[in-house]
Amino acid sequence: MRRLVKTLVLVSIILGFSFILTVASEYFIPGESVRPLAVFYLSTTFNPWLPYLTVYSPEAVTAIVWDYRGLDTLFETAVFYLALIAGIALARGISLKADPGNEGGLSVIVKTVTRITGPMIVAVGASIGLHGHLTPGGGFQGGATIAVIPLIIIITFSVFFVIGKGVTKDKMLVLRSFGLVGIGLTALAALIIGLAVGKTAYVFQNMAKPTSEVSLPAYFNESLVSGTLWFFNLFEMIAVAAGFTIAFLLLTYPENKEGENA
Amino acid sequence: MIPPETLVYLFMAVAAIGSTISVYYAIFEKDLLKAVVFSAIQSTFYAFLYFLLMAPDIVLVYLPVAVGLIPGVLIILISKTEREERVDEEAS
């Protein structure tokens, strides 16, 4: 009852402030026109008639994240990797071994539902990640969606089941490092091609620029891959999914109870 | 007849108030497991808001992280500590 009264007070305060803001907006109305910076991005993100400015990606957000400001995203990935390294360092000395005698987990109904929905979630995550240059989404989004499935399996089946199936910390670390190496090589792809054919090229270059003729293919087998964007999304998806899986494995490993020797 | 744009704004207002109420309940709930559920409800309202504000990229990263991963991690954390929040008697 007391909580209900407090909720009503809260709602009325919000509504009162909203009313004041409505009156205040009579004096300040944000314009409906698109700002010049947004016009630039929207008019160049997929524009075959401007070959030196376009990214060949109809998804402006992914184009900005991995092309216009690609270096920022690379360092964001590095921050996530360092956080994970810190987590692994905190959990050092813990060895995760499969324990076939430990048949934990939830009921058969929950396990069956998890078995059915698991592949669906992975498919949705892969679709979000690999279509990141065409539709809303991208590598991080797809990887985070896929990472939900290890968490659900750990909770419904127990962490020993996951390790028994071969999803160990070391294997996930290898997968994550593979993703990061892939991101690094994709960032250097244009430079490597440029060195091979003896032309000027830049790090993080995607499409041809006026000072550099090196360009990654925008179309592969007549389907749009937007040069580096598809590869960045693929490797980022692998790295994020494997990274979250390591975090869950370390978090869910049961700790020793008091008075029990390791 | 109400124009569709007004309906969208109305729905956004309802979602925003709903998220604020969920935050209030999440903060004052003593049962931490219920607090996690209220926090997830707030995240769902936010996901609606992002979608109606035409930011589908944010929706796609917000849904798995805020509705899937964070409640999962918090529930693991609660299972390792205590479910009830202790109240300091001198403070209350």
Residue A98 pLDDT: 65
Residue B5 pLDDT: 85
Contact B57 A61 (CB under 8 A): yes
A60 contacts on B by Cβ (under 8 Å): none
Tell me the per-residue pLDDT of A182-212, one tens digit each, with 9 for 90 and over. 999 998 988 888 888 888 888 888 888 888 8
Query: Comparing C-alpha atoms, which of A112, A133, A154 is closest to residue A216?
Result: A133
B4 band by pLDDT with thresholds 50, 70 and 90: confident
Name the most confidently modeled range: A86-95, A120-129, A244-253: A120-129
Q: Is the pLDDT of residue A105 over 80?
A: no
* Reported ipTM exceeds the 0.90 cut: no
Q: pTM to 2 decimals? A: 0.84
Q: In B, what residues contact A, Cβ < 8 A? A: 13, 16-17, 20-21, 24-25, 28, 56-57, 59-61, 63-65, 68-69, 72-73, 75-77, 80
Place of tokens 């004096």: A27
Q: ∠ CA(A25), CA(A29), CA(A30), 5° rounding?
A: 130
Which run of H or E residues covers position A220?
strand A219-220
Q: Which among A6, A7, A151 has CB closest to B69?
A: A151
Q: Is the pLDDT of residue A20 over 50?
A: yes
Dist. CA B71–CA B77, nearest whole Å: 10
DSSP characters over A115-140: HHHHHHHHHHHHHHHHTTTTSS--HH
